Structure 1
Amino acid sequence: MSFQQVFQNIKRFMEKDPYGSYKLMFGTDSQVHSTYTRFITGIVIQCETKGAWACIRKVIVPRKMNQLHERISFETSLTEEVVSMFTEERKEELIEIVLPNIYRGGSFTIEGHIDIGSGNKNKTRIFVNEMLARMEALGIEPKIKPEAFVASSYANRYTK
């Protein structure tokens, strides 16, 4: 599917209910395999209490990426790349769908889900501030585990 097709699917999904409370969410997960590393970026538009539409983007790196910081950083870069396709103009198109209905429950937010956690036992906790700052620099709300379900659950299912 081209990016334009993805965008049109998101737009059509939102136009079905212009009074909806929408979250556009992005997140990437990875899995190291014997000769390559698979990265999956999930793109999800969710209408609170009314379902979601989602798709994935797959990137294969033809080597084992065993360094945790390199892998987490690349996951974040792939998420940033997809987010950047949603230009201000495209975001405005989506906002315009719900804008006339904000006093009747309509809303639209964008989240970047990062497959890291801040718990003491989590090896990725040392990267939290760096990755959060990268998402915030894009102007989107960052989420980490356990709230980062697009990366840690949806994208994860396709990395195996």
Structure 2
Amino acid sequence: MNNYSAYHHSFKNLQEKGLSFEQVFERIVTFMNLNPKGHYRLMVGTDSQVHKSQTVFITGIVIQNEGNGVWACIRKFIVPRKMTQLHERISLELSLTEEIVAMFTEERKNQLIAIVLPYIYEGATFTMEGHIDIGAGQRNKTREFVKEMVSRMESMGVEPKIKPDAFVASSYANRYTK
């Protein structure tokens, strides 16, 4: 990300601070191993908030076992200026999401799939989603960017979700941008 040197911040959640991506991945593996027959959704999404002299970006990583709990963490990224251009901000949100998605290499994804694989005939599932904080509704200012952002996620082999289904970006990450 060129000139943003403060970029590689660590991850944190309410229980832990200063987690590396390796540690985040280990937490996800541990969480999934608790119930390998689960219905897992690995979701990544970013939201931003423009403040007086900076713009705060929060990327959330959420592993959800549908109906059986979640494990989640965030990473904060600060741009030291007000980013008033909506397209620039949405695009950077997606770039930050893409960066995390890319950390889930084929090898890592296969490791996660291997946890549920012995149980797929018993209903176990694993999907990965990219949550984009945009909406296609008529009154939504971001609707003109939907096609571009959705195809960026799809090109990474991740299922894109937009509002109202993009809750990692629009709800979880959003809480930490204030």
**Smaller-chain TM-score range?**
over 0.9
Residue 147 of structure 2 is matched in structure 1 by 129
Query: What amino acid is the match of 2:156?
Result: L
Q: Among 70, 85, 88, which residue is 1:52 paired with? A: 70
- Stretches of structure 1 lacking an aligned partner (at least 5 in a row): none
Equivalence for 1:65: 83
* Counterpart check, 1:88 vs 2:111: no
The percent of aligned pairs where both chains have the same amino acid is 71
Write the deviation string for residues 25-52 of structure 1: whole angstroms up to 9, x where unpaired: 0000000000000000000000011010
Q: How does 1:6-155 map to 2 (within 5 A)?
A: 6-155=24-173
Question: What value does the CA root-mean-square deviation take over the aligned residues?
Answer: 0.3
- Counterpart CA distance in 1 for 2:144 and 2:38 is 37
> For 1:56-77, what per-residue CA distance to the aligned partner results, in whole angstroms no more than 9, with x for missing partners?
0100000000000000000000
Greater RCO (Cα-Cα under 8 Å, separation 6 or more): 1
Structure 1 runs, 4 residues or longer, greater than 2 Å off: none
Alignment deviations for residues 66-99 of structure 1 (CA, whole Å, 9 cap, x no partner) = 0000000000000000000000000000000000
Task: Tell me how far apart the structure 2 counterparts of residues 54 and 29 of structure 1 sit (CA, whole Å).
Answer: 15
Displacement of 1:105 in angstroms is: 1.2
Partner letter of residue 24 of structure 1? L
SS in 1 for 2:134: coil
1:113 aligned counterpart, secondary structure: strand
Unaligned runs of 5+ in 2: 1-18
Q: Partners of 1:145 and 1:52 in 2: how far apart?
A: 20
The AA in structure 2 aligned to 1:156 is: N
